[in-house]
Amino acid sequence: MTQTTRPSIPGYTLGTPEVATSPITDAEFALLKQTVLLGDDDVRYLRMAGEVLSDQIEAILDVWYGFVGSNAHLVHYFSGADGKPDARYLGAVRQRFAQWIRDTCAANYDRAWLDYQHEIGLRHTSAKKNRTDGLVSPAPHIHLRYLIAFIVPITATIKPFLSKKGHSAADVDGMYTAWFKAVTLQITLWSEPYVAPSAF
């Protein structure tokens, strides 16, 4: 992930001093990667996925936003002061979400990346949700239940997109498994601010 591939997206602060600091040590992070079985092959497959997905990002986001938008219990988290979905908020987050797909495929798992995982986690909790976009919202945080449950839609829905560029079944499987590991690893990191330090 090189500096030059990071476009200027409102509120996207990876690598800047505004970002929170991850409490995870290198040793702890190594054990986490080991636990989700993330190895060099997976990193190679993530890079392959990055190429495969690069021109499909808006279509992927249409699927994810379609799912959120058609579920009142989910779109609730995007509501503004009037209790209705806030289009500006949805749009701003969507741009950062697009970048997240690229970052997930390009991740080098360095400190800047780890710190930004902590930042994204906080942005799902009452510590930082709504702040980046200056929103007044009746939803102060994303409930942990949906954060974890979302591993499924964010993983399962990616497969058709991975299959669209004529790769072998083995390569599609490899990319899919690598994506699954990468998403689960990130949700694990994002869960940290939800619990007492001793329980994480």
Q: How many residues does the chain have?
A: 200
What 3-state class would DSSP assign to 117?
A: helix
Identified binder of ligand HEM from the candidate list 20, 43, 60, 68, rule CB under 6 A: 68
> Which residue from 106, 117, 116 is spatially nearest to 49, judged by alpha carbons?
106
C-beta separation of 182 from 42 below 8 A: yes
**Between residue 132 and residue 151, which ones bind its own copies under the rule CB under 8 A?**
141, 143-146, 148-151
- The nearest distance, CB 198 to its own copies, in angstroms, is 8
x-or-dash string of contact with its own copies, 51-80, rule CB under 8 A: --------------------x-xx------
**Between residue 165 and residue 184, which ones bind its own copies under the rule CB under 8 A?**
169, 177, 180-181, 184
Residue 109 makes contact with ligand HEM by CB under 6 A: no
Question: Which does residue 154 touch among its own copies, ligand HEM, none (CB within 5 to 8 A, set by kind)?
Answer: ligand HEM
- The CA-based diameter of the chain, rounded to the nearest angstrom, is 49
Q: Which residues pair with 79 in a beta bridge?
A: 85
What 3-state class would DSSP assign to 137?
A: coil
Cα→Cα distances 56→7, 51, 90, 133, Å = 18, 10, 19, 26
x-or-dash string of contact with ligand HEM, 138-177, rule CB under 6 A: ----x---xx--xx--x-----------------------
Count of residues that interact with ligand HEM, criterion CB under 6 A: 25
Cα→Cα distances 123→43, 111, 130, 131, Å = 26, 18, 7, 8
Residue (97 or 194) nearer to ligand HEM, CB: 97
Residue 130 makes contact with ligand HEM by CB under 6 A: yes
What 3-state class would DSSP assign to 131?
A: coil
> Which residue from 181, 68, 194, 183 is spatially nearest to 121, judged by alpha carbons?
194
Q: Which residues pair with 85 in a beta bridge?
A: 79
The residues of the shown chain that bind ligand HEM, judged by CB under 6 A, are: 11-12, 68, 74, 77-78, 93, 96-97, 100, 120, 123-124, 129-130, 132-133, 142, 146-147, 150-151, 154, 183, 187
